[in-house]
Amino acid sequence: MPLVVGSDAQRASVRTAIVLGVGVVVGTGVLAYAELKSRRRRTLQSPEEKRKTPGALSKSNLVLITDDVECAPTVRRLLTGGEPPCPLSGFGSTGSVTGMLRQHSWGEHCTGVYGLGGYSQSSRILICMVGLPARGKSYINLMLIRYLQWSGFPVKDFNAGNLRRQQGMSGVSADFFANDKDKIALREQIASAVMEDAITWLKEQVSVCVAIFDATNSTKKRRAEILKRCRASNGITAVFVESLCDDPVVLEANYKMKLGNDDYKGMDPVVARADFLARIQAYTTRYETIDDNEGEGSISYIKLFNVGRKVTMHNCSGYLTSQLGFYLSNIHITPRRIWLVRHAESVDEVHGRLGPTSGTLTARGTRYCHQLKKYLLQRRGDLPNDRSDSTAAALGVESPLLVLIGTAPVHVATCATTFPHTNEDGLEIVAMNTSLLNELGGGDLAGVTYERMRSEYPHVWEERQKDKFRFRYPGAGGESYADVVGRLQPIIIELERQRRSVLVISHLAVQRCLYAYFTGCPMEEKMPHLDMDPRHSVVELRPGPFGCSVERTNLESEVEALSHESVDRSRYIT
């Protein structure tokens, strides 16, 4: 019988397994303990010494002792559809116990190992957009795709309007959307074809995944058909996302964007606008908002008012569905800036040590802090509407700049040196620190230089070079880029939630992960290799309804102008 996580019997079994050299896969905390004990005594040995070590981990002595597993971020997800279970996929880690499960010969009683959110009886989600034209559905699609891709879940958009245009119906007038019987049948045919494409794609996936069915889906009849089709497809859950908007400012901006698509290319703007408004009116006459009684009360939906000002959810109980609802409840289109900067140059960094934690800044680092403050004073002056805080807005003054930092001494030193006095020069700040923003953990190799790693631990170096995204440093606290992405999810929510401008002071790995989220950078292939140099620079992000603009400012020249030092940066950690 599977053992209960945290029970005395299980802990005894874990200790026995460690003594015998058996790899144990259990709940998150015990997994870390078992894996730590098994790996710490072997990781820093040479390959020859490892072969001589009794009880070396292998696929033949790997044991599963619980049937309710939520592994650490080593494995992101697994779908058990058929025998044997599908192979592990998503954001994994090389060189770990769970990584070895990829080659494990599964027993008849072993159903698989899952990451948090990776197991669900209905693991394929069809998100169905609902809403009149120009109500922000495209913006919500963009945000969902970006968030899901960054989190490691396969996602694809299926757009009814794009299929219509591909079938030669680009530039149709508002008459195409009228309540004519033949036109309705043609529109239903296009929508059904897009839905079938989305369901086919979902069935082809081997892990938890999301397809976005982007159409108006504006009637109860159409939504009933979607629910019926999903119920006929085992393991596919329909979740409706309805966007309602009556804000004239948002609507006007959406109208202008829509008039730039292929339906109105080359058309007189006045004529195009009149036609588009007529199209909206045609939809409005038959539009039915979602209510709780649809699908005999079982319908799952997320309803957004004015792009996140108000959000309601119904029957959103699944892990991923509830996560998406929480995410959508925090997004908005308020203009603001997010500045990503690395901590000031430290003594540890100059010496090329992995995971520098020293709070001692170099003279160059101190000068950089002074230049950073000058930059922020100038940029804050360029954003007069940065008054999102309710109290500040009532008083007609700027809200304090939010500064997010890690708990490493070098983060604190950078913040304290940049802002030595509160509200000096009119720049008021609110600083918050969290270990979530600390650098990627180096484990047993923390403090080791790259030169030493290459020469003394070549097997570790080689594994890192093979897969920089999934490679996890050995030992207690060792992390991979995939692990950092997992722990940064609350930071992403905080950055999306904030309506004021935010400065984030972090190390390079965290900066890369945050930059990748806002820019939509491919995670596994490119994110760990992003060039964020020059070292003393500022990356300014401006999230908006149609994407995120990026501007880089090099402060290195100002720092160098005040410096007579010559520093070799080839040793810096990357």
Catalytic residue positions, numbered = 214, 245, 343, 439
Is 141 within 8 Å of 172 (Cβ atoms)? Answer: no
Identify which of 362, 462, 371, 474 has the alpha carbon closest to the alpha carbon of residue 413: 362
Six-digit token pair at 292? 């709780």
Query: Measured on CA atoms in the order 395, 401, 403, 404, is the torsion positive or negative?
Result: positive
548 within 8 A of 528, measured Cβ to Cβ: no
Query: Which residues neighbour 464 within 8 Å (Cβ) at sequence distance 6 or greater?
Result: 471
Judged by DSSP in three states, 520 sits in coil
- Cα-flanking dihedrals φ and ψ of residue 368, to 5°? -60, -40
CA–CA dist 415, 185 (Å, integer): 62
User: Residues near 296 by Cβ (< 8 Å), separated by ≥ 6?
Assistant: none
Q: Give CA–CA dist 8/43, Å, rounded.
A: 28
Closest listed residue to residue 289, CA positions, set 228, 219, 187: 219
The rounded distance, in Å, linking the Cα atoms of 574 and 355 is 10
Tokens for 342?
């690395």
Neighbour tally for 153: CB within 10 Å:
23
